Structures are given as C-alpha cells and as structure tokens.
Amino acid sequence: MNCPYLDCNYRKIQTDTIHCPDCSRYLKTCERCSSPNRAFAVYCCECGKLLPESDADWPAFKGGWQRLGLNRFVLNRRIPELGTGEMGGIQLSDPCKSLLICDRHLFAISQSGEIKVADISQNHIREVTSFHAGGNIYAMPVIERGSLYMAAEKELLAYSLGNLFSQKAPVIPRWEISSDGTPIRELLAFQNRLFFTLTYPDRHHEIHALDSIRSVQPKPPEKLCAGPRLSSIAGHYTEKVKKVYFLSEDQIGLRLHLTDYSKNSGAEAVSLMVKGAPSPFRERVPIAVIGARIFLVFRKEETLCRLDANTGEVDRQFCKNIREFAMAGINDPVATISEGLFFQRINKKVDIGNNQTIKGSPLILKDCAVVVGMRDGNVHLYDLHNPALPLIWSVSEHSDEEITVLAASQNIIAAGNDKGRVRVCRLV
Ligand SMILES: [Zn+2]
Ligand SMILES: [Zn+2]
C-alpha cells in the first residue's frame, strides 16, 4: 500500500500501523478495506467508505456539540501513579483562545485569529502548518467532518483540513460568509448545519443557522430565535439520537428549544415552557446536555440544576455558588466555586490553596480526574474519587502567565495560556 500523502512515495505500509514508516505522518485506517488514509480524510481513498470519527477527537471543549468536559477515553491508572511526560509546545503570537484535537493533530487558535496545527501522534509534537483567519476570534472554532469552522469578526469561515497538507498552496477558506451582527459569540456544527449566536450593541441576541455547510456554498442564514436572554447552544449526538438545544427567556418565562434530526424526514423544531425554574438563568455559564437532560445555572444562589428535556421540568438541584462546571456523569458535576472545587460524587469541597484561582472551565478525564488551569500558570489534576492531593503540571516557568484553555485526547493534555504559550504532555 502506498503512503497517502502526496509528497511521499513510500510503498509497503503495514495496515496496522498508524504512521507512514518513511515520512512518519499519521495514517487513518479504513475499517472496510484497511487502506491507510491521510489525517482529516472523510472518505476512504480506496473504497469510498465514510471514515469514522475517532474517540480521541476533541472537536471543541466548550464550543462543540457535547459542551461537556467529557473525554471518552478511559485512563486505567489513578493520579498518584500518573506523571506528566512533556511532549513540547507551540508559541502563538497572542493569547491562546481555543484548542481543538482531530486525528491526533492539535489546533491552537489565538485571540487575533492565528491558527497553528501540530501532529501530536508521537513523543514530540511537530508543527505542521500555520495560517491566519484574518480577524479577532470571539467564538470557539469547531471541527466537523474534515472542516474547521471559524468566526472572525463579522465573518464565518470554513477551511478544508485536507488542504493543510498541500504545502505549495496557501491555506484559503473553502467558503466565507459575512454577517451583519457582531461579534459572533458562539458556533456549533451539527448535521451539515452551523448554528451561531450574534450579539448586537443593544445587547439583544439572535441564534441563526446556516444550512448545507459541507457544500461549496451554504444557503443564506436563517434566524431561529431572538431576544434579550439566550443560552448557549448544545447538542446530543449518538448513532440514533441527534438533537440540538438552547433556551430563551422573556417576560412570559423560560423556554426550551429543541431541534430533532433523528428522523429521516428532516429537522423537527419544537419549544416548551420550563417548569420549576428557581429564578432567571445565568447566561454566562454554558449549558450542558447528556441524553435528555440539560444542565444549567440559575441566578438564585448560582445553583446548578438539571432539566428534563421531555417534560420541561427542573427535576434536580445540585450545588450552589458555582462559577463553572463540567459533568463527570449524569448525576455527577464537578463545579468551580469561590473556595476551589466541589465534587458532587463525594459531596466534598476541595481547597485549592491560598492565593490560587482557577481560570476557565474544569475538564474531565473520564472516570479518572478533573483538570483545571490556574492563574499562576500551572495545571492541576485531581483524582475524581479522592481529590485531596493534585498532580501539578507546570506549563510555564513564569508565574504571571494564566492558563486560558485546556483540551484532552486519550492520555494527552494540552494547555494554552495568555502569553500564547501552548504545551502538551502525556500522562504516563
Ligand atoms: Zn509517507
Ligand atoms: Zn476503504
């Protein structure tokens, strides 16, 4: 079998390997015919089969369809036995805004729209390419089916990831669409559709959807909802269930909006009134969805609550005074509170130490740990079952560099900071 990369003529690739023995690049193996394909390939180059998305992908931490700090990979060792093996880093020209992982490649995106891509499949990371989206980034970009979708200033951009390997050609968008609202606050790619939230100067918000995003030219955007108070957008995506949720609030009350893509007959949109809301909801904290349960924070005592999407009923209240949260399971939030972290599972507050502050959202390594970025530039990993003593990973020697964003893929953790430094480590 030949190497699928255009600039490598290597033959005789073993089909069980994940790297080309000659150019050492990552290979994506077809389940049907075992042919090696390039990273970010959507269809097999030999037999045309749709290639599966990997369990190791981290399409977005807080901008994607899961909106959970949930990594599907299970580490079978606990924090006291785990150490951090350095894999190297990338330097961006300004603060790191977002980190995405797809096909064992890390995408580091800066606030001003610089994008650097690195191969993280081997012991040391290797920068593959860099380009610029041409404007400031306010919404976390998303990766879906071989494309990177970004919002830069007043523009929506789609980049074909396959394009990143043709070194001769500059990286140019597959399509560009301008929007009159600014800034574009949020993106979510789902089933050939891109949802996005616009914020207007009078503080009213609108959620729009762009259809046929996988095509050469999408259809003009359609307005789905407008109002003074809208939540973030979150999706639930499995083989059989494909649903997108968001909430809106006005004088009449709180309303849950749901678009169901599960049926072949097309998208079906419904909305229902929420019952039992303790107060107005907190827009700043993104919602999360697991199955038919929505997790959101209400202003009254900053309480995290669970909402049954079938009945519209708020059916459970979790912890209070929360700033951010991630779900380790359907009844199992881990929340950032003013004193540190709260673990619902063991009903325990964990002190993070004097003069320490957690920045951003926690990230969950499934059944193993919660990872948090700190203001002093370190990353702390707490065992989910016994969080007394954290494993500390030092991302920078400078204590004035704050962690801005985290990402995880299998046993790999990536962290970005406000000086544009991005570091990667493997838990070993
Ligand atoms: Zn090769
Ligand atoms: Zn194939």
Express each pLDDT in 342-355 by its tens digit.
Answer: 999 899 999 887 77
35 shares its domain with 99:
no
- pLDDT, one tens digit per residue, over 185-210 is 899 998 889 999 998 888 889 999 99
- Distance between Cα 10 and ligand 1 center (Å): 5
Ligand nearest to the CA of 33: 2
The DSSP symbol for 26 reads B
- Distance between Cα 291 and ligand 1 center (Å): 41
Ligand nearest to the CA of 11: 1
Q: Is residue 97 part of a domain?
A: yes
- pLDDT, one tens digit per residue, over 160-176 is 998 877 666 678 899 99
178 shares its domain with 43:
no
Quick check: helix, strand or coil at residue 301? helix
Q: Is residue 62 part of a domain?
A: no
User: What pLDDT was estimated at residue 247?
Assistant: 97
226 shares its domain with 370:
yes
- pLDDT, one tens digit per residue, over 134-163 is 889 989 999 989 999 999 888 999 999 988
User: What pLDDT was estimated at residue 70?
Assistant: 62
Ligand nearest to the CA of 4: 1
Does residue 39 register a pLDDT over 90?
yes
Q: Take residue 80 and report the two structure tokens written for it.
A: 């006291």
**Strand duo 184-190 + 193-199: pairing:** antiparallel
Q: What is the mean pLDDT of residues 314-332?
A: 92
- Distance between Cα 143 and ligand 2 center (Å): 22
Instruction: Kindly report the pTM of this predicted structure.
Output: 0.94
User: What pLDDT was estimated at residue 313?
Assistant: 97
> Which CATH number fits the domain that encloses residue 211?
2.130.10.10
Vertex 55 angle, CA 50 and 56, to 5°: 115
Question: What total of structural domains would you count in the chain?
Answer: 2
234 shares its domain with 350:
yes
Phi, psi torsion values for 93, nearest 5 degrees: -80, -15
48 shares its domain with 117:
no
Ligand nearest to the CA of 52: 2
- Distance between Cα 297 and ligand 1 center (Å): 49
Q: Is residue 63 part of a domain?
A: no
1 shares its domain with 77:
no
User: What pLDDT was estimated at residue 63?
Assistant: 58
Residues of the domain holding 154? 70-427
Q: What is the mean pLDDT of residues 203-218?
A: 92
221 shares its domain with 348:
yes
Q: Is residue 333 part of a domain?
A: yes
Strands (E), 1-94: 27-29, 36-38, 70-71, 84-91
Q: Is residue 329 part of a domain?
A: yes
Q: Is residue 57 part of a domain?
A: no
- Distance between Cα 269 and ligand 2 center (Å): 36
Binned at pLDDT 50, 70 and 90, residue 398 comes out as confident
